[in-house]
Amino acid sequence: MTRVLVVDDEPQILRALRINLRVRGYEVDTAATGGQALEVAGHHPPDLVILDLGLPDLDGVEVIGGLRGWTSAPIIVLSGRADSTDKVKALDAGADDYVTKPFGMDELLARMRAAIRRAAPAEETPQVRLGGLVIDLAAKRVIRQDGPDIRLTPTEWHLLEVLLRHPGKLMSQRQLLAEVWGPGYADATGNLRLYMTQLRRKLEPDPARPRWLLTEPGMGYRYQPDEDERQEAGVSLPRQQRLDHRRKSRGPEGAPGGRPGAPAGER
């Protein structure tokens, strides 16, 4: 049985989540403070943590840091803070996802399932399909069905591999910079934008309106699989988000979607 630790100082949210999660077969522990959360997690290691940032004793980011010192269990932040700065801080501290209050239970459950699947030991998936392209991560080849292979630089490969190995997950700019370029490049966001633009030019049918390599403004980037690829990768999105994704791909009057007038590197 999957053990979930819910951390929130609002009694009604603790009660609602405890009831809803137990009905769905989860084992649930609760905590109303950051100190209590760390203590409970130490005695009963969770498989997943749902964490509010606005706790009475510790900031939620501190709690994330405390948990990340010894556990890799997925952490989903559930907070009323909608500012992108708070989201980036939580993600950089080690959170896996961020849900803003008020929230829908179906969406939260879908994000929990996706986080648990990503955390589970998975078989190696060396090939990913992007439309008419096959990305062979083991052989480091981009195979085009109707033409020669697409060549990528070593840095482009590294960046693409990090994104593809985390389907559906928001990767902050700092996470990607540290992973691809190293700890000394935490502020080199221009490098990241440049290489994302290059990847889109090589891999996206319409680089100005990306289909798979998406920008989350002010936060980072996400590899968004198509519906069939998402199922194979174990990524589940709520119904409304699937509908929004389809609308974006169609755009107005059936035209390709996207944010008009935005530079290619900022989409």
Q: What is the mean pLDDT of each run of 10 residues along the chain (267 residues)?
A: 94 95 94 94 93 93 90 90 84 90 90 84 70 88 90 93 88 86 82 95 95 90 75 41 42 37 37
Q: Report the C-alpha gap between 196 and 40 in whole angstroms.
A: 41
Neighbouring-strand partners of residue 251? none
Q: Is 130 exposed, middle or buried (0-12, 13-18, 19+ CB in 10 A)?
A: buried
Residue type, 114: A
Tell the burial category of 173 from Cβ atoms under 10 Å away from its Cβ (0-12, 13-18, 19+): buried
Full-model pTM: 0.53
Contacts of 247 (CB under 8 A, 6+ apart): 257
CB 171 within 8 A of CB 220: yes
Alpha carbons 176 and 91: distance in angstroms, whole number: 11
